[in-house]
């Protein structure tokens, strides 16, 4: 049986984590498990990634999707989806960050946070905006299209 010192364990963990990233700039395993989408509002494009979860895969199965993004509490843009997303294995709630894309299971709506918000039971994080968050700073409702960006 091997005896590991704390220092040996730290070295082993460092080697394991460094093995998942590449010096040539290719994505590590976490980045490869993300799916890229774009949200188009008129001429403006918002880029985002979706996590590889059951709920996110349910959303991707509905894409491309034409929706109306409505302002909700000057904090988030929301849109109701044609079909509810599966929530099996999802946490009971999350505290979203600005730029998070989430699903509010009790109402069946997509929520894209452009303002600060606290923990909400029933909220499931789906992904994150990577560029174009400023395009959500409008009042009222606007039509939008969400589409999956093909992998290279």
Q: Which pLDDT tens digit goes with each residue over 137-148?
A: 999 999 999 999
Strand partners, 109: 80, 104
Q: Tell me how far apart the alpha carbons of residues 22 and 86 are, in angstroms, rounded to a whole number.
A: 34
Please give the share of the chain, as a percent, with pLDDT higher than 90. Answer: 76
Q: Which structure tokens are listed for 143?
A: 């039509």
Any idea which fold 30-148 has? Cyclophilin (2.40.100)
Q: Cα(118)–Cα(55) distance, rounded to whole angstroms?
A: 21
pTM of the model: 0.78
> What pLDDT band is residue 2 in, cutting at 50, 70 and 90?
very low
In sequence order, the 6+-apart residues with CB closer than 8 A to the CB of 57 are none
């Amino acid at each position: 049986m091997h005896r590991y010192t704390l220092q040996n364990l730290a070295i082993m963990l460092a080697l394991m984590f460094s093995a998942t990233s590449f010096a040539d700039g290719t994505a590590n395993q976490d980045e490869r498990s993300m799916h890229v989408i774009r949200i188009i509002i008129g001429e403006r494009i918002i880029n985002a990634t979706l996590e590889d979860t059951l709920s996110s895969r349910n959303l991707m199965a509905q894409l491309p999707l034409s929706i109306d993004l409505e302002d909700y509490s000057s904090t988030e843009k929301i849109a109701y989806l044609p079909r509810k997303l599966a929530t099996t294995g999802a946490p009971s709630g999350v505290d979203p960050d600005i730029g998070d894309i989430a699903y509010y299971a009790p109402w069946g709506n997509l929520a894209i946070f452009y303002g600060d918000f606290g923990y909400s039971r029933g909220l499931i994080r789906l992904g994150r905006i990577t560029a174009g968050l400023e395009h959500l700073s409008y009042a009222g409702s606007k039509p939008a299209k969400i589409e999956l960006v093909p992998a290279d």
